[in-house]
Amino acid sequence: MGIIDVNHLSKQYFIAKRQEGMWGAVRSLFHREYITKTAVEDVSFSIEAGEMVGYIGPNGAGKSTTIKMLTGILVPSAGDVTVGGLVPYRERQKNARQIGVVFGQRSQLWWDLPTIESFELLKQVYAISDQQYRKNMDTFTEILRLDEFYQTPVRQLSLGQRMRADIAASLLHDPAILFLDEPTIGLDVVAKERMRTFIQEMNQERGITVILTTHDMADIERLCKRMILIDQGRVMYDGGLSKIRDRFGKSRILIVDLEKDTQLQVQGAELIRSEGNRKWLRFNREEITAAQLIQQVSIQADIQDLSLEEPEIDSIIRQMYEEGLSVG
């Protein structure tokens, strides 16, 4: 048993069908027709305490619906879910004590209050002891520099500041599990990196189990050993990043700096970019080795420098979606 166990979980939404015209509207007062939309279908996974897992998929894949069932907001249509031994929708309050949730798109803080007052309110809501509150506030303030905007109303915070405040707020009551939904969305490079470092520290030092939903593959590459990929409500892949890279990331890019600009004629590779003496050659490592390619180039020109690039995980995933491939 993991800290989170999901077994054959499904969720259907029933959407009221609109009837045409006035008579249709009247008729639907008495007789409503519904369309069924399956958002999550037969999803199973288990997450161990202390893991950090990326839960990813394209828009509408069913990520938020899954997270809402894990947090107890939604009741599953079928299947089982337990979080820290609790059934979330049955014990929503108790579950709330053991989880923290951050939605990148909207704040959970009180919009009009100075930021510090939101923290004080949360202290009351969760009945956090003075000692625990002080300890956490000191730590979070030091790492996230919350004191820069203690007195600023949440509505006036920059996005980066708001995210720092939100993640600190979600951890105030020392939850064992943290759900992060797009925690770096819209942040600049520096703020993204700062957020990632903080998440990593909380996972490593406090052993918090983290489930991270993101469209930013750099978040996953930087933070998660494991990812669960879903599409159209179903799990397409559950495992390490390296396995996906091995299976789908067959292309490599050889970058060569030639002594002088030369028109290369290479077999088994495609020239995808050329900037003066520097050339980018894409090849399939199952068809030709880097050594064979370098040999071909070196016959035609003097190589001054070279490097090999691995494909980025997001280009691999895009390819998986485009080709509709499923990994066992």
Q: Does 13 bind ligand ATP (CB under 6 A)?
A: yes
Q: Does 74 bind ligand ATP (CB under 6 A)?
A: no
Using the contact rule CB under 6 A, the part of the chain among 21-29, 56-64, 157-165, 192-200 near ligand ATP is 56-64
Q: Does 36 bind ligand ATP (CB under 6 A)?
A: no
Binder to ligand ATP among 8, 15, 78, 261 (CB under 6 A)? 15
Binder to ligand ATP among 10, 65, 95, 251 (CB under 6 A)? 65
For ligand ATP, the closer of residues 182 and 266 by Cβ is 182
Q: Does 61 bind ligand ATP (CB under 6 A)?
A: yes
Tokens encoding 313: 């995980």
Binder to ligand ATP among 24, 60, 186, 240 (CB under 6 A)? 60
For ligand ATP, the closer of residues 47 and 67 by Cβ is 67
Q: Does 39 bind ligand ATP (CB under 6 A)?
A: yes
Using the contact rule CB under 6 A, the part of the chain among 55-63, 84-92, 115-123, 161-169 near ligand ATP is 55-63
CB of 15 to ligand ATP, least distance (A): 5
Tell me, residue by residue from 205 to 244, as one string, x for binding to ligand ATP by CB under 6 A and - for no binding.
----------------------------------------
Q: Does 37 bind ligand ATP (CB under 6 A)?
A: yes
d(CA 23, CA 26): 5
For the chain, the three-class secondary structure string (H helix, E strand, C coil) is CCCEEEEEEEEEEEEECCCCHHHHHHHHHHCCCEEEEEEEEEEEEEECCCCEEEEECCCCCCHHHHHHHHHCCCCCCEEEEEECCECCCCCHHHHHHHEEEEECCCCCCCCCCEHHHHHHHHHHHCCCCHHHHHHHHHHHHHHHCHHHHCCCEHHHCCHHHHHHHHHHHHHCCCCCEEEEECCCCCCCHHHHHHHHHHHHHHHHHHCCEEEEECCCHHHHHHHCCEEEEEECCEEEEEEEHHHHHHHHCCEEEEEEEECCCCCCCCCCEEEEEEECCEEEEEEECCCCCHHHHHHHHHHHCCEEEEEEECCCHHHHHHHHHHHCCCCC
Q: Does 71 bind ligand ATP (CB under 6 A)?
A: no
Of 28, 24, 62, 57, nearest to 42 by C-alpha is 62
Residues 242-301 touching ligand ATP, rule: CB under 6 A, are: none
Binder to ligand ATP among 9, 45, 47, 63 (CB under 6 A)? 63
For ligand ATP, the closer of residues 77 and 139 by Cβ is 77
Q: Does 57 bind ligand ATP (CB under 6 A)?
A: yes
Q: Does 64 bind ligand ATP (CB under 6 A)?
A: yes
**Which residues lie near ligand ATP (CB under 6 A)?**
13, 15, 37, 39, 57, 59-65
